[in-house]
């Protein structure tokens, strides 16, 4: 279940999607900060009795979600605006398929390094990216399904530079493409800050593709 300090994603009744953090957990309530919209980083307001969707990552990077209602709103002198939702029962928390999480085509430089299984490190490029995982292209197949490896990839930043992200991923799918392979990795270890950078990058890429008339999911 969620704990104080966990990164949380929320979608409100107007379909705004934002990131926030858990500030406190009691037997009855979960308190969260005011969410910042992923694409703009601007804080938006939630209303009492408003219904929202809540998403969080647990258990080796698996994505979970549940429906919630804002039951209380406070202006905390130290933390600013914060909101309370009822703590859900276990049966109301669902495992969310990662394809429901925004995924965009992305050509990024990626380096693969061994973690438990030994193989020669190699570099390649990604084909798509989401906050939950990455799809890469490989000329050979030194791995098997469920192998965990270390991945390093370069993510463009707003100022024209790059962010270097180090994550751990589990190989969850292998597709043969003539003489090459497409390898899908699910992130099992990723820092909250890195996840935020990927989320924002994916939403900005989606907006850019939408303005240019391209469908980011084809």
pLDDT score for 209:
56
What stretch of H or E contains 62?
A: strand 62-76
**Do the domains at 7-96 and 103-211 have one common CATH topology?**
no
- What's the CATH code, domain 7-96? 2.30.110.10
Give residue 214's pLDDT band: very low, low, confident or very high (50, 70, 90): very low
Burial class of residue 198 in the structure, from the number of CB atoms within 10 Å of its CB (0-12 exposed, 13-18 middle, 19+ buried) = buried
| In the block, residue with structure tokens 């699910």 | 186
Domain spans in the chain, listed from the N-terminal domain onward: 7-96, 103-211
Enter the DSSP assignment of 210.
H
Q: Which of 58, 83, 82, 54 is nearest to 68 (CA)?
A: 54
Give residue 208's pLDDT band: very low, low, confident or very high (50, 70, 90): low
Q: Quick one: average pLDDT of 181-204?
A: 88
Residue 203 scores a pLDDT above 50: yes
**Gap between the terminal Cα atoms of the chain:** 35
Give residue 175's pLDDT band: very low, low, confident or very high (50, 70, 90): very high
pLDDT score for 177:
86
pLDDT score for 216:
34
Polymer length in residues for the chain:
218
CA-to-CA dists, residue 202 to 30, 49, 127, angstroms: 28, 30, 13
Query: For the chain, what percent of residues have pLDDT higher than 70?
Result: 90
Give residue 121's pLDDT band: very low, low, confident or very high (50, 70, 90): very high
Q: Quick one: average pLDDT of 60-83?
A: 84
Q: Quick one: average pLDDT of 66-75?
A: 93
Q: What does the block give as tokens for 173?
A: 């799918």
pLDDT score for 213:
44
Give residue 207's pLDDT band: very low, low, confident or very high (50, 70, 90): low
Could you tell me which residue, 191 or 59, shows the higher pLDDT? Answer: 191
What stretch of H or E contains 134?
A: strand 133-138
pLDDT score for 153:
95
CATH fold of 103-211 reads Thrombin, subunit H (2.40.10)
Taking the complete model, does pTM exceed 0.85, yes or no? no
pLDDT score for 59:
67
pLDDT score for 97:
62
Give residue 149's pLDDT band: very low, low, confident or very high (50, 70, 90): very high
Q: pLDDT tens digits for 1-60?
A: 788 988 888 988 887 888 899 999 999 999 999 998 876 778 898 999 999 999 887 766
Give residues with Cβ within 8 angstroms of 214, minimum separation 6. none
């Amino acid at each position: 279940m969620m704990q104080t300090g966990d990164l949380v994603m929320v979608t409100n009744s107007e379909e705004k999607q934002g990131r926030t953090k858990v500030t406190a957990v009691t037997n009855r309530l979960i308190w969260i900060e005011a969410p910042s919209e992923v694409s703009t980083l601007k804080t938006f307001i939630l209303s009492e009795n408003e219904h929202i969707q809540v998403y969080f990552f647990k258990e080796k990077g698996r994505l979970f979600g549940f429906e919630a209602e804002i039951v209380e709103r406070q202006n905390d002198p130290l933390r600013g605006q914060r909101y309370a939702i009822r703590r859900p029962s276990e049966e109301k928390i669902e495992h969310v398929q990662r394809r429901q999480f925004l995924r965009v085509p992305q050509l990024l430089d990626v380096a693969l390094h061994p973690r438990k299984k030994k193989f020669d490190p190699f570099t390649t490029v990604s084909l798509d990216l989401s906050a939950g995982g990455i799809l890469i292209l490989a000329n050979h197949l030194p791995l098997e399904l469920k192998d965990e490896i270390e991945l390093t990839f370069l993510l463009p930043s707003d100022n024209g530079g790059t962010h270097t992200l180090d994550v751990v991923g589990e190989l969850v799918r292998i597709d043969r493409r003539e003489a090459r392979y497409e390898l899908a990795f699910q992130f099992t270890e990723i820092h909250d800050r890195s996840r935020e950078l990927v989320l924002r990058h994916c939403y900005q890429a989606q907006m850019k593709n939408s303005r240019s008339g391209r469908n980011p999911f084809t």
